[in-house]
Amino acid sequence: MSARGLIIEERSRDIGDFLVGRLIPFRKKRMVGPFIFIDHMGPTILGPKKYMDVDQHPHIGLATLTYLLDGQLQHQDSMGTNQTILPGSVNWMVAGKGCSHTERTPQKARESQEVFTMHGYQIWIALPKDKEDIAPSFHHFSKNVLPKWTVGSARYRLVAGSGFGYTSPVPVYSNLFMLEIKTTEVHKFKAQGNLKGEIGICIVKGSIKACSEKILEGNMLVSKIEDACDIVINAHSHILVFGGEPFTEERYIHWNFVSSDKNKIDKAITDWKARTFPEMVNDSSYVPIPS
């Protein structure tokens, strides 16, 4: 550990220009740009008698970004969406003033009795204050329409937002970015001048070198400054880079609800408990608010 190393929270530490840890939010770093929550799914083996079934649950004040590395998932929501997502594609659900959804293993996979690996990320991105109450919407983008390019031997894909002179078709509402990078050889990643705002780096596979330290897969780095020090991505590595410009207002998070206004969260809690919150017409499942 560097001389300035500091344990700031379980599974996170200070190595100079970065905080190293697992997933956001950290106790001392609640958001990275507008990214407020990242849930790492798997990798896990699914098949007969073991499937993914996330029952109906609500959201407000955020957009969900689902990005799979392996497997398949069926998204359905209170807007009537029924969409299968496959690896490399993007499901982008804007909750806005409120919607509910489920995420399950597709019926075709159940009927075929196939065994497959499930691995991906569920990401929440807070909406700007003036967009928190917009009407819900859903968008799906196949991997073929996402910008991709190479830098040396490294393969880049822009999942959402803007960076390196490219813009993803995903309709974001603030200045942000999410990149996927895969390497076959050692690669120097340069953020300065290519990405704007706070930066998070998730090491899916392999390792990187940052601030003279080697960080292994399964960890997440979060920059404490904009245009953090350049990093070296080691050969045969796979990373996700995300972040953007932070909001000036604080964001509150309670269960699945995000808002700049605690009163909106309280109302969403009341409505979900009273079953007056927008619900799906083709799914009677219901996840109660944890006590």
4 lies in the same domain as 46:
no
Does residue 277 lie within any of the structural domains? no
Does residue 272 lie within any of the structural domains? no
In degrees and rounded to multiples of 5, residue 95 shows phi and psi of -75, -40
pLDDT band at 23 (very low <50, low <70, confident <90, very high): low
Which stretch of DSSP H or E encloses residue 70? strand 62-70
pLDDT band at 269 (very low <50, low <70, confident <90, very high): very high
The range of the structural domain enclosing residue 120 comes to 33-141
Q: 55 in helix, strand or coil?
A: strand
- CATH code: domain of residue 223: 2.60.120.10
Does residue 91 lie within any of the structural domains? yes
5 lies in the same domain as 65:
no
Tell me the C-alpha distance between 147 and 13, whole Å: 33
19 lies in the same domain as 158:
yes
* pLDDT at site 44: 85
66 lies in the same domain as 135:
yes
pLDDT tens digit sequence for 59-88:
999 999 999 999 999 999 999 999 999 999
167 lies in the same domain as 235:
yes
Domain count, the chain: 2
* CA 236 from centroid of its chain's CA atoms: 22
152 lies in the same domain as 217:
yes
40 lies in the same domain as 166:
no
Q: Which residues contact 99 (CB under 8 A, 6 or more apart)?
A: 58, 59, 77, 78, 79, 93, 136, 278
Residue for token digits 């960080």? 215
130 lies in the same domain as 62:
yes
- Mean pLDDT over 115-123 rounds to 90
β-strand partners of 176: 244
184 lies in the same domain as 224:
yes
* CA 62 from centroid of its chain's CA atoms: 12
Indicate whether 5 pLDDT > 50: no
Tell me the C-alpha distance between 95 and 138, whole Å: 9
17 near 224, Cβ under 8 Å?
yes
Tell me the C-alpha distance between 69 and 172, whole Å: 21
| Cα dist from 186 to 1, 182, 193, 237, whole Å | 23, 10, 21, 9
Tell me the C-alpha distance between 266 and 88, whole Å: 36
> Which of 207, 234, 210 lies closest to 218 in space, CA to CA?
207
> Which of 168, 193, 192 lies closest to 179 in space, CA to CA?
168
| Cα dist from 16 to 165, 213, 259, 277, 286, whole Å | 29, 10, 31, 45, 45
pTM of the model: 0.90
